[in-house]
Structure 1
Amino acid sequence: MRDTTQALYIQVHPSDNVAIVVNEGGLPAGTVFDSGLILKDAVPEAHKVALTAISEGAAVVRYGVIIGHALKEIPAGSWVHEEILTLPQPPELDQLPPPAAHQHCIDPLEGFTFEGYVNDDGTVGTKNILGISTTVQCVSATVEYAVKKVKAELLPRYPHVDDVIAITHLYGCGVAIDAPGAEIPIRTLRNLSLNPNLGGAPMVVSLGCEKLQPARMLPSSTLPVLTSQPYIVRLQDEEHHSFGDMVQAIMKMAEDRLVHLNQRRRVTRPASDLVVGLQCGGSDAFSGVTANPAVGYAADLLVRAGAIVMFSEVTEVRDAIDLLVARAATPEVAEGLVREMEWYDRYLQRGAVDRSANPTPGNKSGGLTNIVEKALGSIVKSGTSPISGVFGPGERVTTKGLVFAATPASDFVCGTLQLAASMNMHVFTTGRGTPYGLAMAPVIKVASRTALAERWSDLIDIDAGTIATGKASIQEVGEQIFHLILDVASGRKQTCADHWGLHNEFALFNPAPIT
């Protein structure tokens, strides 16, 4: 075990000419490292120090990749930060190398199981939840009122149902519902209603006059056999003579659904039934060397066990897309990756912004200079497996293995879209810290720094900061994450977010105009 009072830095790749300071609180000017390097400046924790002199205009390299060019000469031992670097150009999408000709074979990992709820469509839930969907924001307050009554008056009578949630949002009317891009929020709402953790018992509350009619949101062809029964409450129907009537209609249908859900029991299922979404938020410079590599190791184990593992966040992979295309299992997958990058490039151009809008102030305080450095650390959580499929925002993921599910980088939007993609487990890495959680699926939070894990011990599930100080290896923390996923999916353990009931609102991605 290393002495954490020793001055430490992490150099990721032998060709890197910068490294990040490990010590909590940073290090003062004059600090001497074992390598003989002397700090010319005070360098904050997780920020970069120049390992050698870098001349004006020369490349600054981290992860073995150019993350910028020096705006002035940078002496060895200097603090390397945003103000003295230029942002390099992103990879040209029409000049990417083809996928590797020989992808490595996946060595199957057998014998791992969890206890889950089997649905009629063959999917498996890690929770048993009644979800009440809405077609339009106008009904949200009424549904939320009804859900409180359902939880207080009905749910205690159905002990095998975990929760009742309202799937509310800001969409449904006052929108250009047939415009290009409008299919994204519509299919997102449809697929949220069909998430495996909702047990195949969708229930929809509609106002009646909105543009997004229930039949458009949930066509009969998408519904399980169960919903041959009525599954819609329309508040404008003439049978409702008061607010009380509306609430009672919602509660009656909710109880019909609760009766069905309460009959379900957990059964032993192979780990291949897991659909695990990976995401990072409040990232810092440690994320790419501790938490994300450990999650990547767990992701490889899950893929070997036959599960679906999805990573997302287009703007946080765009600058490393050449590394991902090289891992595409087929030319079609490579084309899909390029297609999603091109779509998002055009989307940003329409908004007169570019990729420099990411990272956030907190990311920069945590040592991430620009989006290139952030992307290189972000993609590490995808592990090393071949990428077997690419899906657009809000689409259901149907391909086993490691897949890219395109989403914006916003935590709440990404989480919502991954739920629509059929995610039944979520792993979320953070360096700066966040109380983020989801009602529809368990969220395991992995800290990139021990200081964060200790300070927020009741919000962080796994401390990956031990990798930075040498107390644990990437493999050890990755295996810990893998086994915690199985335990949480089985209901044997509870995440911190679920313990406190910290569940963020659903946030749709709507690139179409509002009228």
Structure 2
Amino acid sequence: MNPAIRLDPQDNVVVARAAITAGTPVPAENLSALQDVPAGHKLAARFIARGEQVLKYNTVIGYAAEDLPPGTWMHSHNIAFGATDRDYRFSQDYRPADILPPSERATFMGIVREDGRVATRNYVGVFVVGNCGATAARKIADYFDDERLADFPNVDGVVPYVHEMGCGMEMTGEPMDLLRRTIAGHIRHPNTAGALVIALGCERNNIWGFLEQEKLVVGPKLQTLVIQDAGGMLETIARGKDIIRAMLPEANKIKRVPCSAEHITVGLQCGGSDGFSGLSANPALGVAMDLLVKNGGTAILSETSEIYGVEHTLTCRAVTPEVGQKLVDRMNWWLDYNQGRDTQINGRVSPGNNAGGLANVLEKSLGGAKKGGNSPLMAVYEYAHPVTQHGLVFMDTPGYDPVSATGQIAGGANLIAFTTGRGSCFGSVPAPTVKLASNTPMFNRMKNDMDLNCGTIIDGEATLQDVGRQIFELILRTASGQKSKSEIVGMGENEFAPWPIGVLA
């Protein structure tokens, strides 16, 4: 097998399929490696002059920092980061998605709620409006272990949703609005069968103001507890256990029935990326999302700072110029937000990404955007807003995975698909996470955390289309109740992380 992978005829770099030692011939490129090249890293495929564009997938990922002979190891030490010109071509490549008629769409075994929404899981949640209620929420939820839930086999768990905010912050404005709609989105989520909301009583995120603003009505499936009114922590914990205990019989009264795949909404995430992520797991997930869209479902692409430099690949296929402009507006917000800071959007990726072969954010974005496939961009949402449009949509979020996924779930994602090259142990509730490995060595090393190996593409054993179909089928099985690896391990309740936008007071 050729030791290097060529991604486009116009590229002036190729990617090492596995670690290449200095002097190793690369016959297909008529060159030999001049230095040791780690797996997933790049080699110059021809002479590249100083200042010349470095092309991967025929897209600019930087500029040569020096004259580079063929066979040179290409990475952040000799690829200079710089701005690139982008032609947004708003909606010029828009083509309506080819949607299957309802009778031909794939199905899964879902939970149909009274209002017609479809769930993939069935949780009871204990929420806090501020961090002061966190201990009570955790102790109440932890009480309902497997033994105490044995009589309620249809309940997936009682989980706490705790966070570090709710007080010492602006009382009104964007930070408070964002926090409130994030919590409310999880309370309203179809995967939430019942909710208890706990407050200390003096938070700036006042519990009654929160309920009123989010139009949440207290009733059998939504209860409240105020620690200062209940008589303290011990009394709150005892009463909280009673409230949850009373909710469980009703929450258990569900059954799974065949549902159209149009009811699946997948939040797309990548973390611990490497040089193979954009070659295997991300584009294979894109194939799966094109299949989901074809079956009437929804894919939420996010992590705005991680599509920087390739946002024009989305604006050109936006359903309207207005949708494309909204994406550009959010990108400009991020550029202003990060001005003068040592952050990813200004060039430097994390040490793990860098070690995995990604030279800068342009290269990372090139691979990350591929998770959305080739479907038209139908809408752009701000963080944690309800997603109502089917098809491929974009939600503005940070690149930090727990914060990003929390916003997607608040918006209605009932499943998260997470690609990784270095290895991630992420999990989420109430929507489950499936993890897709970009390379076989990492998959074999972390089999208890990875749901599917996309490294077979790099190994030459499967095509993108093959693995994309496998991912789509994995999503259908997981939405039907099959536990993901992160669920088996017990991850998710600590990854609820509303975006801490703004400055603490």
Q: Which amino acid aligns with 1:234?
A: V
Contact 1:189–1:217 (CA<8 Å) still a contact in 2?
Answer: no
* 1:28-427 pair list within 5 angstroms: 28-35=21-28, 36-91=30-85, 96-100=88-92, 102-108=94-100, 110-151=104-145, 154-199=148-193, 201-219=194-212, 222-223=215-216, 227=219, 231-237=223-229, 240-349=230-339, 355-356=345-346, 358-427=348-417
Q: 1:144 to 1:91 in 2, by over 3 A?
A: farther
Contact 1:7–1:31 under 8 Å retained in 2: no
Letter in 1 for 2:74: V
Which amino acid in the other structure matches residue 469 of structure 1? D
SS across alignment from 1:269 = strand
Q: Percentage identity across aligned positions?
A: 34
Say whether 1:498 aligns with 2:498: no
Alignment partner for residue 449 of structure 1, among 428, 439, 456? Answer: 439
What's the CA shift string for 1:439-478, capped at 9, x where partnerless? 3221111100011111111211111111112100000000
Q: Sort the Cα spacing of 1:221 and 1:192 in 2 relative to 1 into closer, same or farther, 3 A.
A: closer
* In structure 2, C-alpha distance between the alignment counterparts of 1:274 and 1:198, rounded to whole Å: 15
Cross-structure match for 2:479: 489
Assess, with a 3 A threshold, how the Cα gap between structure 1 residues 323 and 53 changes in structure 2: closer, same or farther.
Answer: same
The alignment partner of 1:151 has SS state of coil
Q: Is the 8 A contact 1:134 1:205 kept in 2?
A: yes
2:176–2:205: 8 Å Cα contact kept in structure 1? no
Pick closer, same or farther for the CA change 1:310–1:70 going to 2, 3 Å.
same
2:475 counterpart letter in structure 1: I
Instruction: Output one character per residue of 1:324-372: Cα deviation in whole Å (capped at 9) or x when no partner.
Output: 1001011221122122212222222386757136511110111000000
Say if 1:62 and 1:214 are closer, same or farther in 2 by CA, change over 3 A. Answer: same
1:432 aligned to 2:416?
Answer: no
Once the two structures are TM-superposed, the CA of residue 221 in structure 1 deviates from its matched residue by 6.3
Inter-partner Cα distance in structure 1 for 2:500 and 2:165? 8
- Following TM superposition, by how much is the alpha carbon of 1:14 offset from its aligned partner in structure 2, in angstroms? 1.1
The code of the aligned residue for 2:196 comes to M
Bigger mean CA offset, 117-126 vs 170-179: 117-126
Distance 1:101 1:287 in 2: 26
Name the CA distance, whole Å, in 2 between partners of 1:437 and 1:230.
25
How far residue 252 of structure 1 moved from its aligned partner, in angstroms, is 1.7
Amino acid at match of 1:231: Q
Give, in whole Å, the separation in 2 of the partners of 1:287 and 1:91: 25
C-alpha distance in structure 1 between counterparts of 2:142 and 2:183, whole Å: 22
Report how far residue 296 of structure 1 moved: 0.2
Rounded to whole Å, the distance in 1 between the matches of 2:96 and 2:139 is 53
For structure 1, the residue ranges without an aligned partner over 5 or more in a row are 1-5
The 8 Å contact of residues 90 and 318 in structure 1, kept in 2 or not, is answered as no
Q: Which amino acid aligns with 1:265?
A: K
Q: Supply the AA of the counterpart residue of 1:501.
A: G
Change (3 A) 1:229 1:182: closer
State the number of aligned residues: 501
Change (3 A) 1:165 1:183: same
For 1:64 and 1:285, how far apart are their aligned partners in 2?
16
Contact kept, 8 Å, 1:47 with 1:81, in 2: the verdict is yes
1:90 positional shift: 4.8
**Contact 2:99/2:296 (8 A) holds in 1:** no
CA deviation digits over 1:7-44, x for unaligned, max 9? 42111111100011002xx1111101222221111111
In the superposition, relative to structure 1, how do residues 220 and 337 fare at CA in structure 2: closer, same or farther (>3 Å)? closer
47-56 or 181-190, which moves further after superposition? 181-190
Q: What SS class does the counterpart of residue 364 from structure 1 fall into?
A: helix
- Answer whether contact 2:180 2:214 (CA < 8 A) is retained: no
1:91–1:320 contact (8 Å) kept in structure 2: no
Letter in 1 for 2:359: T
Contact 2:99–2:293 (CA<8 Å) still a contact in 1?
no
**Alpha-carbon distance in structure 1 between the residues aligned to 2:228 and 2:355:** 51
Does the CA contact (< 8 Å) of 2:347 and 2:360 recur in 1? no
Give the deviation of 1:152 after TM superposition.
6.0
Equivalent position to 1:13, from 5, 8, 21:
8
Give the SS at the match of 1:396: coil
Q: Is residue 427–residue 495 contact of structure 2 (8 Å, CA) maintained in 1?
A: no
Counterpart CA distance in 2 for 1:270 and 1:223 is 29
Q: What are the superposed Cα offsets for residues 270-311 of structure 1, whole Å, 9 maximum, x if unpaired?
A: 100111111100001110010011100000000011111101
| Unaligned residue ranges in structure 2 (runs of 5+) | none
1:112-136 deviation line (CA, Å, top 9, x unaligned): 1111112233321111000111111
Q: What amino acid maps onto 2:89 in structure 1?
A: P
**Shift in alpha-carbon separation, 1:174–1:128, aligned structure 2, 3 A:** same
Secondary structure class of the residue paired with 2:22: coil
TM-score normalised to the size of structure 2?
A: 0.95
Question: Which contiguous aligned blocks of 4+ residues in structure 1 show a shift greater than 6 angstroms?
Answer: none
- How far apart are 1:165 and its partner, in Å? 0.4
Aligned partners of 1:31, 1:229: CA distance in 2, in Å? 65
- Cα distance, 1:58–1:10 mapped onto 2, change above 3 Å: same
CA root-mean-square deviation: 1.9
Deviation at 1:230, TM superposition (A): 6.2
Secondary structure of the equivalent of 1:485? helix
Q: 1:332 and 1:142, CA in 2 relative to 1: closer, same or farther beyond 3 A? A: same
Q: Deviations over 1:412-455 (max 9, x none)?
A: 11111111111111110000001111132211111000111111
Amino acid at match of 2:139: Y
Distance (Å, rounded) in 1 between the aligned partners of 2:225 and 2:452: 42
Q: 1:3 maps to what in 2?
A: none
Name the SS of the counterpart of 1:27 in structure 2.
coil
Q: 1:325 to 1:40 in 2, by over 3 A?
A: same
Please tell me whether the aligned partners of residues 146 and 247 of structure 1 are also in contact (alpha carbons under 8 angstroms).
Answer: yes
Q: Distance in 1 between matches of 2:83 and 2:469?
A: 37
